[in-house]
Chains A and B, each alone.
Chain A
């Protein structure tokens, strides 16, 4: 693949949830091997944009192409690894971490049982997120951050070309965030593209190629790597800096709300 392949192409997308228009014409492209972050305040449309990309929120207008295929004809689901925001992966019956992560192989196996390669991929994904020792535990016994790592492993188990993650850092302590950043770095190194919703860049900052800041269902601005660096390393020192200010206002509103917790 010589030419830069466009993995996600969302053009002039609008979408509504119920009566409320959440996306008002969003353009978003992710090229092969690129890591793109969506930032923005609560309710700015980040999650809806991500869910529109995977077809879980229907577009009322606009175009969506995945891997160069119009969405209506897209069938290569095995190339996508999805990490939902709030875990619904807790049913009324216990399931082990390994069982949940194994669901990530279904797009590969179809009706045939898990083969050796599938089991190896599941083990590898568990290792990547540092959950190999919890494989036999019930997901209901995990903390929020561990649960989130299990869901990330589920997406990684499918060995996807495109990872789509909705707030993967939610509920994670610093150590887990670093583990996850390392796992992501390895994936990106293999040419995996990533689209992720973040509230703050944290240890992901060095990995991110572009950040789109959403506001009221529109892309307010696209941050380049330099301002990203300021955003990541000095989110509060650069308070007045022209470029980063709006991103801080929208993207990092939670940290803003608790200034007292900073040392």
Chain B
């Protein structure tokens, strides 16, 4: 295992993997919270155009990718605001456009071909250069400052946007910041996991962590731990098995998710036994899905059937009348 660390290229790759393992779940958690888990994927597609542009202009593709991916993410955010009706189609077109643009530009550039894109699509440990490492360190610092420094603000915005606006938070600004942060994260991660699989690293550690946690801070901490564990072990696997690191990291992440899911069920049972308050009158046991104040609350009372038929706002009065009125 220690022989890994004797190769300078592996030192660079592992440092990059460590930073990506921290940054990707730290940003991904907000996308998952806002139920936009797929956004990282879209940004990845758009970033491909940026990478190709780097080849065309003969500069480090990391920086052109940051630029194009950020523009793409801002566009997606603007579509989310204004284009409610056909927003999904507009987003899909942005994905396709990013992919097509990347392939087209790379073939126009003098020293590029589809093959040069492969290391960006699936990641590559051997090609992480010194200048890449510098870029990754700087960009990770930006990402972590934003996603951890503003975590209470971003949490509020992603949890309940309308409430956040009434709190006086600059919601639009925070949403744009989150979009740019996500774009930068994608670019940071592309050297290690690749653009096609980067979204997995933003989503799977969070999905795995939340099986075992009850709070946001806990989920954030555990998902970063999971992220670091799979990026480091996946990069090492990639070295020994000679496969692209993106593939080994994501396969390991899914295995970890499956393991945590299998362990989470007994854990939840244990917790339920410990806190009998969970089963209060009429409320029923813990609900897996976010509960709306719907008819369920009134279900145990005499007025339950009628309340279930009426709109949710009626259930409170129905249970009152049915249960307690002398």
Tally inter-chain residue pairs, CB-CB below 8 A: 214
Asked if B87 is an interface residue, CB under 8 A from chain A, the answer is no
B35 near A173 (CB under 8 angstroms)? no
CB distance from B168 to the nearest CB of A (A): 3
For chain A, the bracket of interface size reads 35 or more
Select which of B206, B290, B307 is within 8 A of A90 by beta carbon. Answer: B290
Select which of A141, A145, A167, A202 is within 8 A of B286 by beta carbon. Answer: A141
Which single residue of chain B is at the shortest CB-CB distance from A142?
B291
If A75-B168, A92-B35, A261-B322 touch, whether A144 touches B293 (CB-CB below 8 Å) is: yes
Q: Which residues of B contact A136 (CB under 8 A)?
A: 214-215
Q: Which residues of A contact B275 (CB under 8 A)?
A: 137
Of B213, B216, B298, B302, most buried by chain A (CB within 10 Å of CB) is: B216
Question: How far is B294's CA from A148's CA once the two chains are assembled, in angstroms?
Answer: 11
A141 near B287 (CB under 8 angstroms)? yes
Complex interface bits, B284-297 against A, C-beta within 8 A gives 1, otherwise 0: 10111111111011
By the criterion of a CB under 8 Å from any partner CB, how many residues of chain B are at the interface?
72
A93 near B277 (CB under 8 angstroms)? no
Complex interface bits, B193-225 against A, C-beta within 8 A gives 1, otherwise 0: 000000000000010001001111101000000
Asked if A200 is an interface residue, CB under 8 A from chain B, the answer is yes
A107 near B29 (CB under 8 angstroms)? no
Complex interface bits, B147-166 against A, C-beta within 8 A gives 1, otherwise 0: 00010110110111111111
If A93-B29, A99-B215 touch, whether A170 touches B166 (CB-CB below 8 Å) is: no
Q: Which chain B residues in 252-310 approach chain A with CB under 8 Å?
A: 275, 277-278, 280-284, 286-294, 296-298, 302-303, 306-307, 310
Pick 27 A–B contacts, CB within 8 A, sort by A.
Answer: A42-B313, A55-B166, A75-B168, A77-B168, A78-B168, A87-B293, A89-B163, A91-B35, A92-B33, A93-B29, A94-B215, A95-B159, A103-B159, A106-B152, A111-B150, A139-B290, A140-B289, A143-B280, A144-B291, A144-B296, A145-B316, A146-B280, A170-B315, A202-B317, A202-B320, A257-B306, A261-B318
A residues adjacent to B (C-beta < 8 A): 42, 54-56, 75, 77-78, 80, 82, 84-96, 98-100, 102-104, 106-107, 109, 111, 114, 133-134, 136-148, 154, 158, 167, 169-174, 177, 199-200, 202, 252, 254-255, 257-258, 260-263
